[in-house]
C-alpha cells in the first residue's frame, strides 16, 4: 500500500496542496486531479479506455463483476486460491473456501479452476462465459507466479469465445513487479484491469479500467461511489506515478527484487525450498509449514513480512527499498529461519 514508504515528501506535498483547495465534491462534478489521473493511467496502459475510480481493490473488482454481468452471459471463471476481496461479489470470485463459508450462499455463476492450468481453463470457457478473472501473480496465496505463457494462453482462450479477460492488478500493479503493470511483462492486453493498494501511496483509491469496447459496458448511473477518486486521493496517486517515473523506480524495483531473490536462494538454508514472484512481490517457499513463526521472529528482528500461507512468506516492501536495507534483511534472515524451526 505504501508504495513510496511513509510520509514521502511528494505525496505529503500533493495532498497538502489539494486539501487546501478542494477536498471533496459530488461525483456529479468534474475536478482536475481524477481527470488527470485517469488520463495518466490510460496512457500507461497504452490502450484507449475508460476509468471508474473507487476506494479499494474489492470495490474495483465489484465494478468489474458488474461489467461482466452486463455482457448478458451467466458464467464467470476465476482461479483456485485467488483473492479478489471480501465484499460479496469479490468474495464469490475469491478461490479460498475458508473465507467464503461464513457468508454463504455466494453470488451464483462463479466457478474456479487451478491457477496456471491452461487445459483446465480451456475446458470451462465457452460462449456462456462472461469473464475470466485472474491475478497475474497471486498475491494472497504467497506471490505465486503462473507458468510462462499462461496469461497469453488465457488471452487467446477468452478472445476465441468473446469473453472478457479481467486482470486483478491490485497487488501487482503500479510498479510492484518492475513494470507499471505485471501483464505488460507477459505481453498481454486485457479487457479490464483493476487497481488499488499502491496506487494511492497510502490513501484509499482504487480503479476499474475498461479497455477498448469493455469501457462501454457500464453506462452513466449504473455504478458509482461517493468518495471514489476524490481529488485528494487522486492528487496522491498522481504524485505516486510521477515519483515512480522521475526516480526510475521501475528499474530500481527490478534490480533490488532480483538481488533479494538471488540472495535468498544463495543462503542455502534447509528451510528454504525456493523463491517465487517478481520485482518486490516475492514469495519465499518454506520446506515446513512454519510461516507464522518466521513472521513472528522477523518482526522481533525489526522486519515486517507476511505469513501468506503456512509454507510461504510474502515480501512486499516499499518500492523505495534500498540495496542496503535489502542487504540488512538478507543478513538477518538465516537467524530468523533458525529460530522458526
- 150-187 per-position pLDDT tens digit: 999 999 999 999 999 999 999 999 999 999 999 999 99
pLDDT of res. 169: 99
Query: Is residue 28 over pLDDT 90?
Result: no
pLDDT of res. 208: 99
Residue 116 backbone zone (phi > 0: left; psi -120 to 50: alpha; other: beta): left
Q: In whole angstroms, give the CA distance from residue 146 to residue 75.
A: 23
Locate CATH 3.40.640.10 in the chain: 9-247
Q: In whole angstroms, give the CA distance from residue 176 to residue 296.
A: 24
Name the CATH architecture for the domain at 249-339. Answer: Alpha-Beta Complex (3.90)
Considering the chain, what percentage of its residues have pLDDT values greater than 90? 98
DSSP 166: E
Locate CATH 3.90.1150.10 in the chain: 249-339
Chain centroid to CA 275: 19
C-alpha torsion angle, residues 17, 22, 5, 248 (rounded to 10):
-70
Chain centroid to CA 230: 21
- Global pTM value: 0.97
Weakest-pLDDT range from 217-231, 246-260, 273-287: 217-231
> Mean pLDDT over all residues of the chain?
98
* Position 27 confidence tier, pLDDT thresholds 50, 70, 90: confident
Edge-to-edge strand ranges of the sheet holding 312-315: 272-278, 281-286, 312-315, 306-309
Fold of 9-247: 3.40.640
Amino acid at each position: 500500500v505504501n508504495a513510496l514508504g511513509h510520509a514521502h515528501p511528494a505525496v505529503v506535498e500533493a495532498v497538502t496542496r489539494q486539501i487546501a483547495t478542494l477536498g471533496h465534491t459530488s461525483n456529479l462534478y468534474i475536478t482536475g486531479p481524477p481527470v488527470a489521473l485517469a488520463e495518466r493511467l490510460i496512457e500507461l496502459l497504452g490502450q484507449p479506455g475508460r476509468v471508474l475510480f473507487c476506494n479499494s481493490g474489492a470495490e474495483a473488482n465489484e465494478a468489474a463483476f458488474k461489467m461482466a454481468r452486463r455482457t448478458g452471459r451467466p458464467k464467470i471463471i476465476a482461479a483456485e486460491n485467488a483473492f479478489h476481496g471480501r465484499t460479496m461479489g469479490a468474495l464469490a470470485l475469491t478461490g479460498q473456501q475458508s473465507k467464503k463459508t461464513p457468508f454463504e450462499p455466494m453470488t451464483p455463476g462463479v466457478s474456479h479452476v487451478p491457477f496456471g492450468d491452461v487445459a483446465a481453463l480451456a475446458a470451462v470457457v465457452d460462449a456462456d462465459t462472461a469473464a475470466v478473472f485472474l491475478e497475474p501473480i497471486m498475491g494472497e496465496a504467497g506471490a505465486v507466479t503462473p507458468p510462462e505463457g499462461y496469461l497469453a494462453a488465457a488471452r487467446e482462450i477468452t478472445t476465441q469465445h468473446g469473453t472478457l479477460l479481467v486482470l486483478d492488478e491490485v497487488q501487482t500493479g503500479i510498479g510492484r513487479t518492475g513494470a507499471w503493470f505485471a501483464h505488460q511483462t507477459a505481453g498481454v492486453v486485457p479487457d479490464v484491469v483493476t487497481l488499488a493498494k499502491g496506487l494511492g501511496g497510502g490513501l484509499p483509491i482504487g480503479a476499474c479500467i475498461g479497455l477498448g469496447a469493455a469501457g462501454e459496458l457500464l453506462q452513466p448511473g449504473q455504478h458509482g461511489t461517493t468518495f471514489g477518486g476524490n481529488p485528494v486521493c487522486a492528487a496522491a496517486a498522481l504524485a505516486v506515478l510521477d515519483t515512480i517515473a522521475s526516480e526510475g523506480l521501475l528499474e530500481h524495483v527490478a534490480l533490488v527484487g532480483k538481488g533479494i531473490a538471488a540472495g535468498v536462494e544463495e543462503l542455502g538454508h534447509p528451510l528454504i525450498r525456493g523463491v517465487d514472484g517478481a520485482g518486490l512481490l516475492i514469495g519465499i517457499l518454506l520446506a515446513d509449514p512454519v510461516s507464522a513463526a518466521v513472521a513472528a521472529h522477523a518482526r522481533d528482528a525489526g522486519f515486517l513480512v507476511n505469513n501468506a500461507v503456512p509454507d510461504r512468506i510474502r515480501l512486499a516492501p516499499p518500492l523505495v527499498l534500498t540495496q542496503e536495507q535489502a542487504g540488512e534483511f538478507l543478513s538477518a534472515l538465516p537467524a530468523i529461519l533458525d529460530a522458526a524451526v
